[in-house]
Homo-oligomer: A and B are copies of this chain.
Amino acid sequence: MHGMEFSAAGHPALNERTLHLLRTLVERYIRDGQPVGSRTLARDAGLDLSPATIRNVMADLEELGYLRAPHTSAGRVPTTRGYRFFIDALLHLKPLDEQEIETLRRRIDQPVRDGADLARSVSDLLSSFTQLAGVVMLPRRKVATLRQVEFLPLSESRALVILVLNTQEVQNRIIHTRRPYSATELQQAANYLNEQFTGQGIQQVREALLRDLRETRDNLNRLMQTVVDMAEQTFENEPAGEDYVVAGQTHLMQYADLSDLDKLRHLFEAFNHKGDLLHLFDQCLQADGVQIFIGEESGFGALEDCSVVTAPYTVEGQVLGVLGVIGPTRMAYDRVIPVVDVTARLLAAALNSSSEFRKYRP
């Protein structure tokens, strides 16, 4: 094991046989969670090699940091690096069959009340398909664009704002008005906003309004004053709105890897303590397709023995959010990756084809 060649991806070049053995070992370990010994591997690999030979190879792989032995006389277990190599170079994905895709599609296309509801349902879906915890990040407000605004007088000094967004969503807010407005005034203000800003991001709307109009307030006619008054409050304090939904945490209790109650508690607390996970998901917004964090790669402690598989979903070319699953490091990547991938695509498709709110009713 010297004069080692390195392949493009930064992994050392290993011969066919070694690769095959590593692959078989990881698969086996994923299957039943027990350290894999030379004897077992010899049988599994179907290579007609003696355990002794296998041992030599395993020793090499351990040296390279792909495997480790929990203790002297146990078999070998993949390290994070081992999983990484397995996923990057050895994994044969199991694409979903037509029927499974159809099931997914049907469940995603079901009518929902709003964005949060949809997220919940997709999260459930991910979780039940993979037996892991499903996570769906809600559309980030920043990329939401305006479809329609309406104002509804509630009382003397209060009005209800209805924002219809491009993200399957109708949002309500109550605002306080400086003075009583008539229904007609409100109607006109809404008309103006709809004409001017439909299709733009609400962030932009806000900026445009503040910049252009506020400074010239004194010169405005009555209509424009109404518009400004309404719009300022409507778009101010845009709630941070970065949020996600987790489903199926309980599935994680069945994996021996996490059966340590203390670890599990930390993990569950991480789910509630939204800040940390959001940071992780934010990184995935950039990525183009499925992204995988193995064990400590995710960079924070609670996920120590977990892997995270994510994929962003887009609407009209814009990345709206991220979805994925969280489970033990030894999850069935060959199946989980396609599920996450396809789900993201289907969700995107569903959101895209619903410009007319198709999905509110079947």
**Which residues from chain A sit less than 8 Å from chain B, CB to CB?**
113-114, 148, 150, 152, 154-155, 158, 160, 162, 164, 170, 172-174, 176, 249-250, 253-254, 259, 261, 264-265, 268-269, 272, 356-357, 360-361
Q: What is the count of identical protomers in the complex?
A: 2
26 A-B Cβ contacts within 8 A?
A113-B172, A114-B172, A148-B152, A148-B154, A150-B152, A154-B357, A155-B356, A158-B356, A160-B164, A160-B170, A162-B172, A170-B172, A172-B172, A174-B357, A174-B360, A176-B361, A249-B268, A250-B268, A250-B269, A250-B272, A253-B264, A253-B265, A253-B268, A254-B265, A259-B261, A261-B261
Q: How far apart are the CA atoms of A225 and B170 in the complex, in Å? A: 27
Q: How far apart are the CA atoms of A250 and B273 in the complex, in Å? A: 11
Q: A155-B356, A162-B162 are in contact. List 7 more A-B contacts (CB 8 A).
A: A158-B356, A160-B164, A250-B268, A250-B272, A253-B261, A253-B264, A254-B265
Q: How far apart are the CA atoms of A164 and B152 in the complex, in Å? A: 11
Residues from chain B with Cβ under 8 Å of A360 in the complex = 173-174
CB distance from A184 to the nearest CB of B (A): 11
Chain A interface helix/strand/loop/mixed: mixed
CB distance from A122 to the nearest CB of B (A): 16
Q: How far apart are the CA atoms of A269 and B127 in the complex, in Å? A: 13
CB distance from A288 to the nearest CB of B (A): 33
Q: How far apart are the CA atoms of A356 and B155 in the complex, in Å? A: 8
CB distance from A241 to the nearest CB of B (A): 11
Residues from chain B with Cβ under 8 Å of A250 in the complex = 265, 268-269, 272
Q: How far apart are the CA atoms of A113 and B172 in the complex, in Å? A: 8
Interface centre among A250, A269, A357 (most CB of B within 10 A): A250
Q: How far apart are the CA atoms of A254 and B173 in the complex, in Å? A: 39
Q: How far apart are the CA atoms of A79 and B148 in the complex, in Å? A: 61
Are A160 and B158 touching (Cβ within 8 A)? no
Q: How far apart are the CA atoms of A162 and B155 in the complex, in Å? A: 16
